[in-house]
């Protein structure tokens, strides 16, 4: 429940109206990627992947595989709860991470 409140707060901080227009939102993906509040380990995706380091191979994975990988990282590296694979947040993360593919 607490993680849901944090995600809702992030959505409000990034401009909820923009989410209705832009789907999935790269700005939301960037915000989530950089957030240390998703998990319990005071780390964000950017901690292990500054400037997209190590993400150049994401093009080798389809969206379903990439969503599973993102959730595994959230769970294992950040101590976060899994994000629904159909959620706006997950789609935003996938879109943002894809910008690093070669």
Q: Report the distance separating Cα 58 and Cα 19, nearest Å.
A: 24
**Can you tell me which residue has the tokens 């509040």?**
37
Q: For the chain, how many structural domains are there in total?
A: 1
What's the average model confidence in pLDDT over 20-39? Answer: 84
Question: Using 50, 70 and 90 to split pLDDT, how confident is the model at 36?
Answer: very high
Stated pTM of the model: 0.76
Q: What is the pLDDT of residues 53-73, one digit of tens each?
A: 999 999 999 999 999 999 999
Q: Which domain holds residue 52?
A: 2-98
In this structure, of 19-23, 38-42, 86-90, 95-99, the range with the lowest mean pLDDT score is 19-23
Give the CA distances from residue 65 to residues 7, 26, 91, in Å, rounded to whole numbers and listed in that order. 23, 19, 13
Question: Any long-range contacts for 56-61 (C-beta under 8 Å, 24+ apart)?
Answer: 56/100, 56/101, 56/102, 57/101, 57/102, 58/97, 58/98, 58/100, 58/101, 59/98, 59/101, 59/102
CATH code at position 38? 1.10.760.10
Residue 67 vs residue 19, higher pLDDT: 67
pLDDT score at 102: 87
pLDDT > 70? residue 40? yes
């Amino acid at each position: 429940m607490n993680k849901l409140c944090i995600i809702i707060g992030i959505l409000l901080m990034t401009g909820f109206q923009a989410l209705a227009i832009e789907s999935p939102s790269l700005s939301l993906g960037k915000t989530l990627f950089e957030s240390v509040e998703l998990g319990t380990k005071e780390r964000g995706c950017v901690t292990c992947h500054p400037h997209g380091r190590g993400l150049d191979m994401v093009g080798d994975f389809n969206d379903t595989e990439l969503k599973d990988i993102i959730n595994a990282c959230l769970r294992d590296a950040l101590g976060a709860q899994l994000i629904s694979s159909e959620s706006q947040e997950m789609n935003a993360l996938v879109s943002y991470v894809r910008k690093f593919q070669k």
